[in-house]
Amino acid sequence: MNDRLNNLPEIEMQLRSFALNERVMALNQLAKLDSSLAVPVLERLAAETDFMFRRLAVMGLANHPVESAFVLLQELISRESDHSVLAEAANSVFEFGDRSIPILLSIFGRSSHWLVRQTIISILVETDHYDALFQVATEALQDETQTVKEAGILAMARIWRSSLAQPAFELIKALAADEFWRNRWRAAIALSGCTLPESRELLAKLQTDENYRVVAAALEVMA
């Protein structure tokens, strides 16, 4: 224990190194320490003005699934404005399980940056929290950034086996008639796995689309 305490100043100094490999090495060393030692170090790092240090701090907190780390993450998220830090914080807070879902929804609602929003969609796609996924995916459909919108469209493919399948289908149906081919293309892909009877008819319609990418996607889903 004393040896670890003696190493703390060196680790903390390395966390602020200009060399990326030294910062990564220090973070890995910190992950092996008891949370009672590591979390205070990360808390001090999270107070830095440089966003790269704050991002490193939230990454490190994911390695310590204890209550003090969760509380600190919540505090950091509530005051953070940098999109790269928020995206990393979303990944980290998800390590704390189901209680992270309301926090993820809150981050998604307050941040319009594509990195934050796509990160949260990708996190929720890997879960069974269909209500939360449907909420963010639906909101993403209104996003001005095309990549976010497409992420929202594709996320609907995870909804088909839930009680939200019908409302998800109605949204995809509208997108299948969108004037922008990329939205129709993504809508066709999102229909993969949909067992609703109406989906076959919609895919058949997309197979006659004027854009070959849309046609190819619809054919592949129907195959």
Burial of 89 (0-12, 13-18, 19+ CB in 10 A): buried
Helix ranges (DSSP H) in 47-111: 51-61, 67-79, 83-94, 101-110
Cα separation, 109 vs 177, in Å, equals 27
**End residue of a domain, out of 52, 77, 111:** 111
Same domain, 9 and 76: yes
Q: Are 213 and 181 in contact (CB under 8 A)?
A: yes
Evaluate whether residue 121 is within a structural domain.
no
Same domain, 44 and 107: yes
Evaluate whether residue 187 is within a structural domain.
yes
DSSP-derived secondary structure letter, 125 = H
Evaluate whether residue 197 is within a structural domain.
yes
Evaluate whether residue 125 is within a structural domain.
no
Evaluate whether residue 164 is within a structural domain.
yes
Same domain, 164 and 100: no
Per-residue pLDDT of the chain (223 residues; tens, 9 = 90+): 545 555 899 999 999 998 989 999 999 999 999 999 999 999 999 999 999 999 999 999 999 999 999 999 999 999 999 999 999 999 999 999 999 999 999 999 999 999 999 999 999 999 999 999 999 999 999 999 999 999 999 999 999 999 999 999 999 999 999 999 999 999 999 999 999 999 999 999 999 999 999 999 999 999 7
Same domain, 86 and 150: no
Q: Are 93 and 100 in contact (CB under 8 A)?
A: yes
Q: Are 73 and 104 in contact (CB under 8 A)?
A: no
Which residues have CB under 8 Å from 44's CB, separation 6+?
12
Same domain, 149 and 93: no
Split into its structural domains, the chain has a count of 2
223 lies in which domain range? 131-223
Burial of 124 (0-12, 13-18, 19+ CB in 10 A): buried
Cα separation, 76 vs 70, in Å, equals 10
Evaluate whether residue 117 is within a structural domain.
no
DSSP-derived secondary structure letter, 142 = T
Give the model's pLDDT for residue 14. Answer: 94
Evaluate whether residue 78 is within a structural domain.
yes
**End residue of a domain, out of 82, 111, 140:** 111
Which residues have CB under 8 Å from 50's CB, separation 6+?
none
Evaluate whether residue 118 is within a structural domain.
no
Same domain, 84 and 140: no
Same domain, 94 and 167: no
Same domain, 37 and 139: no
pTM over 0.85: yes
Same domain, 198 and 102: no
Same domain, 1 and 107: yes
Same domain, 155 and 186: yes
Same domain, 4 and 58: yes
Cα separation, 43 vs 58, in Å, equals 9
Give the model's pLDDT for residue 2. Answer: 47
**End residue of a domain, out of 80, 111, 142:** 111
